[in-house]
């Protein structure tokens, strides 16, 4: 009788675990996060932790000013930024695309256009640089923290992007765009942000950014590049 009860209990526990993950296998895990990050489905969400497993039938959402990095079983890493809600399945599929190679020409053009514009106004902007990471520290294991809203300058954000520190650039570019939506460099910030998402294997967010860019800056020389990029994602 005891063996029978134990068997029934085991089946119940296994069924419960399967129900919580939808029967899906683990496809990756959270390896870094800032702020509030949640994993789950439309009816059940749980706060993400370091090493939280990620399942294909879940979504990841960041309702505020935060970010997360997911390491897939393939060894590829994807970044999810602020104010987003993304199906894991779509994010995983995008991480295996050839978007980086396909869009390289467009970003070479972007950097050339920006460089020309920057040369014209460099003397007016000066050379002020603040130390990178001065107020940003990596959280301890399983710790959530909120970064202070310090002022962000475009040169700081773009230098991270130009150096290939795309994960960090995403955070700082978002901060810059939120703080200074009317800045003269805002279109370059949007373009660099979209590229940063491509380089961190989040083609879902990148496509959204470039579609918005093509509409908002329809008369700009970068609009055609944005449309081309969107069609390749």
- Could you report the per-residue pLDDT of 137-193, keeping only the tens digit for each? 444 444 444 455 589 999 999 999 999 999 999 999 999 999 999 999 999 999 999
Same domain, yes or no: 117 and 59: no
The verdict on 104 and 171 lying in the same domain is yes
Give, as one character, the DSSP assignment of residue 117: H
Q: Are residues 224 and 198 in the same domain?
A: yes
Q: CATH number, domain at 138?
A: 1.25.40
Give the pLDDT of residue 116. Answer: 87
Residues belonging to the chain: 233
Measure Cα distances from 86 to 33, 59, 97, 121, 190 in Å: 15, 5, 17, 39, 20
- Are both 15 and 87 inside the same structural domain? yes
Domain that residue 140 falls in: 99-232
Q: How confident is the model at residue 117 (pLDDT cuts 50, 70, 90)?
A: confident
Instruction: Give the burial class of 123: count Cβ atoms within 10 A of its Cβ; 0-12 exposed, 13-18 middle, 19 or more buried.
Output: exposed
Judging by beta carbons within 10 Å of its beta carbon (0-12, 13-18, 19+), is residue 109 exposed, middle or buried?
A: middle
Q: Are residues 128 and 191 in the same domain?
A: yes
Could you read off the pLDDT of 25-35 as tens digits, one per residue? 899 999 999 99
Q: Is 65 in the same domain as 148?
A: no
> Containing H/E element for 192?
helix 186-199
Q: Express each pLDDT in 45-83 by its tens digit.
A: 999 999 999 999 999 999 988 999 999 999 999 999 999
Higher pLDDT, 210 or 134: 210
């Amino acid at each position: 009788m005891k063996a029978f009860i134990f068997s029934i209990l085991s089946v119940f526990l296994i069924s419960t675990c399967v129900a919580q993950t939808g029967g899906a296998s683990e496809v990756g895990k959270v390896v870094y996060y800032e702020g509030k990050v949640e994993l789950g489905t439309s009816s059940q969400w749980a706060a993400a932790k370091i090493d939280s497993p990620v399942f294909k039938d879940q979504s990841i959402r960041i309702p505020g000013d935060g970010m997360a990095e997911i390491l897939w079983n393939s060894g590829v890493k994807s970044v999810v930024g602020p104010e987003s809600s993304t199906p894991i399945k779509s994010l995983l599929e995008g991480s295996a695309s050839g978007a980086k190679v396909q869009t390289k020409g467009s970003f070479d053009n972007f950097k050339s256009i920006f460089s020309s514009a920057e040369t014209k106004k460099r003397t007016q902007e000066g050379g002020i640089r603040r130390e990178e990471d001065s107020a940003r520290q990596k959280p301890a294991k399983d710790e959530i923290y909120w970064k202070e809203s310090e002022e962000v300058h475009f040169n700081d954000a773009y230098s991270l992007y130009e150096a290939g520190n795309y994960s960090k650039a995403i955070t700082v570019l978002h901060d810059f765009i939120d703080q200074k939506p009317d800045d003269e460099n805002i279109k370059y910030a949007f373009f660099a942000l979209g590229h940063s998402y491509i380089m961190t294997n989040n083609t879902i967010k990148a496509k959204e950014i470039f579609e918005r860019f093509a509409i908002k800056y329809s008369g700009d020389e970068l609009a055609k590049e944005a449309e081309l990029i969107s069609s390749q994602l």
